[in-house]
Structure 1
């Protein structure tokens, strides 16, 4: 039963995050979110134009950090590019691991949505930086595995303290990436 008092923007975001974590973005409807909050679907639509807008707002802080990382790697080459990309992406993954975990397995579909289309281009530049801008296939493969591996396993790290997770991930990144020669 819907409550009489309209819910706040933040309550709807929190409920959406919880639902996305349980049933995924595709598996969650606006009605599911409304039910979780105890309001009507119309109330949800009053605060958010659609489900994509809700997800966009949930992911906005992480995307802003990703865009800043993209700007930092823009002028870097070789080992410097690897270091900036590695530390920057690990910091992003540690800080936003809950948000990244919400999208587990759904990245390819989400990248097709207009609000997230530019993320694919950023990912390509990040992979190039992880590879030290090398043209060796093995460097690109290692870079892709590192990026995808961290993104896909973020949900497994929820209970690990930041000060333990960050050095562990950085060690994995440094072991996995080919050194730039």
Structure 2
């Protein structure tokens, strides 16, 4: 016997799916709750039944990526620093390719990201992850890691004709050349 998903859960998933598509194509700032409701085939009131507002919809869109980054940061915290840097480079590259659509969404909210408590956990974990990628507490190394991460995220945002494997190889190689001691 097939297990069915309750209508509320299907509606919530459709709202999140449509919001992701709209945030990617039109941008977070240009997308209204009414746009999301129309795309999801429901009313704005239904969207507000499931979410407290557009930032909460954004948090739901980003949740899979946020959970993956949180899991990675927790894993890295248990490792020695040199080993954590190696794992951070490998896994961050994988996550950036896996969640490349999220890059479009995040780029649009970066100017106001600090004022969005709904995604504060992702921001905090991202900062920690950048520290692991740097491999040290040196300010220059941390700045270099930020530079590398921003370049990698930009490349994942617009991968061109690259396959996932080609993009993964490019990003992994770039991070290693920039961040690992020679």
TM-score range, shorter chain: 0.7 to 0.9
1:7-64: per-residue Cα shift (whole Å, max 9, x none)? 8222222221121112221221101112323432112223323212211111111111
Residue among 77, 87, 91 paired with 1:88: 91
Residue 53 of structure 2: aligned partner? 50
**Contact 2:148–2:178 under 8 Å retained in 1:** yes
Q: How does 1:13-32 map to 2 (within 5 A)?
A: 13-32=16-35
1:154 aligned to 2:156? yes
Residue 177 of structure 1: aligned partner? 179
Residue among 48, 61, 71 paired with 1:68: 71
**How many residues get paired?**
174
Residue 4 of structure 2: aligned partner? none
Q: Distance in 2 between matches of 1:134 and 1:12?
A: 41
Q: How does 1:31-42 map to 2 (within 5 A)?
A: 31-42=34-45
**Contact 1:105–1:152 under 8 Å retained in 2:** no
1:143 aligned to 2:145? yes
**Contact 2:20–2:61 under 8 Å retained in 1:** yes
Please report the TM-score for the alignment, with normalisation by the length of structure 1. 0.83
**Contact 1:79–1:179 under 8 Å retained in 2:** no
Residue 124 of structure 1: aligned partner? 127
Please report the TM-score for the alignment, with normalisation by the length of structure 2. 0.83
Gaps of 5+ in 1: 1-5
* C-alpha RMSD over aligned residues: 2.3
Shift of 1:95: 0.8
Shift of 1:91: 1.1
Change (3 A) 1:47 1:158: farther
1:109-167: per-residue Cα shift (whole Å, max 9, x none)? 224211212333322222221121142x3312211111122223322127532222211
Gaps of 5+ in 2: 1-7
Shift of 1:178: 4.3
